């Protein structure tokens, strides 16, 4: 098979699998959160469980997005390095927004935290921001790893 066609087919399969997993995961998360708030779930009033699900699913989707890059990096020779600049500049704010719901239920008043009051008062803001931050952080966990030759 032609390498270009093989690469194109592999990318189409990857996109199809990723979209399928997104659909299944987001439907599962939505059902889980609705059942948990109605009291049908076995973890009836466990707020930590609800927020754990809300945080881990986007993280998993972000990691899935970065898997092709990890596969490419595994084949390269050289030593592993971490891009600390990207990890700090992008990763810390994403981690902060991802943890805001946990701060909310731990007793910390979000109005005292930067962006806390803004995200809580906007319609759907905290849920959307948490999901986006989780995907970004999951993707970043893989992308910050670099591999290359030593220049000594």
3-class DSSP assignment, residue 44: coil
Q: Any idea of the CA torsion for 81, 84, 103, 34, to the nearest 10 degrees?
A: -50
Question: Quick one: tokens of 80?
Answer: 């592993």
Angle at 52 between CA 90 and CA 111, to 5 degrees: 65
pLDDT at residue 70 tops 80: yes
pLDDT band at 137; cut points 50, 70, 90: very high
3-class DSSP assignment, residue 72: helix
Does the reported pTM lie above 0.85? Answer: no
CA distance 35 to 55: 17
Bigger pLDDT: 37 vs 101: 101
pLDDT at residue 57 tops 70: yes
pLDDT at site 23:
83
For the beta carbon of residue 116, count every other beta carbon within 10 angstroms: 19
Bigger pLDDT: 115 vs 81: 81
């Amino acid at each position: 098979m032609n390498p270009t066609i093989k690469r194109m087919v592999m990318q189409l399969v990857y996109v199809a699998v990723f979209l399928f997993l997104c659909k299944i995961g987001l439907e599962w998360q939505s059902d889980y959160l609705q059942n948990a708030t109605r009291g049908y779930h076995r973890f009836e009033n466990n707020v930590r469980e609800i927020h754990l699900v809300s945080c881990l699913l986007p993280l998993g989707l972000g990691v899935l997005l970065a898997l092709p890059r990890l596969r490419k990096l595994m084949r390269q020779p050289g030593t592993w390095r971490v891009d600390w600049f990207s990890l700090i500049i992008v990763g810390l704010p994403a981690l902060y927004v991802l943890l805001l719901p946990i701060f909310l239920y731990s007793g910390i008043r979000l109005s005292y935290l930067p962006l806390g009051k803004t995200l809580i008062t906007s319609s759907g803001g905290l849920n959307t921001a948490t999901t986006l931050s989780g995907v970004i952080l999951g993707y970043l966990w893989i992308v910050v790893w670099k591999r290359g030759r030593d220049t000594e």
